[in-house]
């Protein structure tokens, strides 16, 4: 008998297909939004009876964490570093409509897609910069079949990709330089997914890290990029910067990747 069960990987791949079709212009925006909404609903249905679903994950956890710290009004300034398609920026802003959200996406095709989506959200600023601890032109690797796996780091074995990548040149910036140029004095919360370059991206905050209350960033104990910065190094950095933290693994991820959820310790 044919196995018709649907796994979390099946859903993730379906969502990638939908998103990339939209980026290539195969779907219009209404079709894209509807398809992604359907995938999210299926995901929730599959997880209704799972024990781990008693704990919030992803954007839900980020929103809930912000409400705990800032109340229903939420944070005033949010960074989405490595936004991919702006979907999570929009989801966050739906909960905190008065927030200013600055999103970064260096992949040229996806930046244009994000820029188009942002036209409907005046509180979102989209910048086409890669983010690290240096400035200037750098190589950026666009990963095939999983644009969200694209990185400043050369791929080794990116999950859910087709094993190919294309090298392009992009502009790299430090976050402290960009924030100074924008006249931002304080960052309340950071949502980050920069595919193995998280430590350098956070170091690029400079003194701004002292103003941050909440950070949710991906971390991985096992490398799948050349120069992939380790979960251990990242945890040490956030500890030294005055944050408590906990790690929540993405169930089923082949390299044990997950979310490092950080909160500024009072008095730091």
Q: Band the pLDDT of 49: cuts 50, 70, 90.
A: very low
Write the CB contacts of 63 (distance below 8 Å, at least 6 apart in sequence).
Answer: 92, 95, 96
Q: Which of 85, 79, 104 is nearest to 216 (CA)?
A: 79
Q: Summarize pLDDT for 95-128 with one digit per residue, the tens.
A: 999 999 999 999 999 999 999 999 999 999 999 9
Q: Summarize pLDDT for 155-206 with one digit per residue, the tens.
A: 999 999 999 999 999 999 999 999 999 999 999 999 999 999 999 999 999 9
Q: Sign of the CA dihedral 14, 18, 19, 20? A: positive
Q: Give the other-Cβ count within 10 Å of 140's Cβ.
A: 21
Do residues 218 and 107 touch, judged by C-beta distance below 8 A? no
Buried b / exposed e over 72-105, threshold 16 CB at 10 Å, is eebbebbbbbbbbbbbbbbbbbebbeebbbbbbb
Do residues 106 and 128 touch, judged by C-beta distance below 8 A? yes
Structure confidence at residue 251 (pLDDT) = 85
Do residues 198 and 234 touch, judged by C-beta distance below 8 A? yes
Q: Give mean pLDDT, residues 254-265.
A: 96
Structure confidence at residue 52 (pLDDT) = 42
- Per residue, the 3-state secondary structure of 123-162, as one string, reads CEEEECEEECCCCEEEEEEEECCCHHHCECCCECCCCCCC
pTM equals 0.84
Percentage of residues in the chain having pLDDT higher than 70? 80
Q: Which fold has domain 56-134+173-264?
A: Rossmann fold (3.40.50)
DSSP string, the chain: -------HHHHHHHHHHHHHHHHTTSS-HHHHHHHHHHHHHHHHHHTTT-GGGGS--HHHHHHHHHHHHH-TT--SEEEEES-TTSHHHHHHHHH-TTSEEEEE---HHHHHHHHHHHTT-TTEEEE-EEESSS-EEEEEEEETT-GGG-BSSPBS--TTS-S-EEEEEEEEE-HHHHHHHHT-----EEEE--TT-HHHHHHTTGGGGGG--EEEEEE-SS--BTTPPPHHHHHHHHHHTTEEEEEEE-TT-TT--EEEEEEEPTT-
What span, in angstroms and rounded, lies between the C-alpha atoms of 112 and 233? 33
Structure confidence at residue 248 (pLDDT) = 93
Structure confidence at residue 53 (pLDDT) = 42
What span, in angstroms and rounded, lies between the C-alpha atoms of 245 and 263? 6
pLDDT: which is higher, 20 or 210: 210
Q: Summarize pLDDT for 62-97 with one digit per residue, the tens.
A: 999 999 999 999 999 999 999 999 999 999 999 999
pLDDT: which is higher, 209 or 16: 209
Do residues 166 and 210 touch, judged by C-beta distance below 8 A? no
Structure token pair of residue 132: 């690290």
Mean pLDDT, the chain, whole residue set: 88
């Amino acid at each position: 008998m044919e196995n018709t069960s649907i796994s979390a990987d099946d859903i993730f791949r379906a969502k990638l297909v939908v998103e990339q079709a939209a980026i290539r212009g195969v779907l219009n925006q209404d079709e894209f939004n509807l398809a992604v909404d359907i995938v999210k609903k299926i995901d929730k249905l599959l997880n209704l009876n799972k024990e781990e679903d008693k704990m919030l994950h992803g954007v839900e956890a980020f929103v809930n964490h912000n409400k705990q710290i800032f109340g229903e009004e939420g944070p005033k300034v949010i960074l989405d570093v490595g936004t991919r398609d702006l979907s999570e920026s929009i989801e966050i802003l739906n909960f905190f409509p008065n927030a200013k959200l600055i999103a970064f996406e260096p992949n040229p095709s996806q930046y244009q897609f994000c820029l188009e989506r942002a036209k409907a959200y005046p509180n979102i600023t989209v910048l086409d910069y890669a983010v690290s601890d240096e400035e200037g032109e750098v190589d950026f690797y666009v990963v095939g079949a999983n644009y969200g796996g694209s990185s400043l780091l050369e791929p080794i074995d990116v999950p859910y990709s087709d094993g190919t990548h294309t090298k392009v040149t992009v502009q790299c910036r430090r976050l402290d330089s960009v924030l100074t140029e924008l006249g931002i004095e304080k960052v309340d919360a950071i949502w980050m997914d920069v595919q193995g370059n998280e430590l350098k991206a956070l170091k690029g905050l400079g003194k701004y890290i002292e103003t941050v209350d909440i950070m949710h960033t991906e971390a991985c104990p096992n490398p799948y990029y050349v120069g992939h910065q380790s979960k251990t190094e990242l945890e040490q950095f956030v500890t030294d910067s005055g944050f408590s933290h906990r790690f929540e693994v993405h169930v089923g991820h082949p390299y044990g990747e997950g979310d490092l959820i950080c909160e500024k310790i009072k008095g730091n």
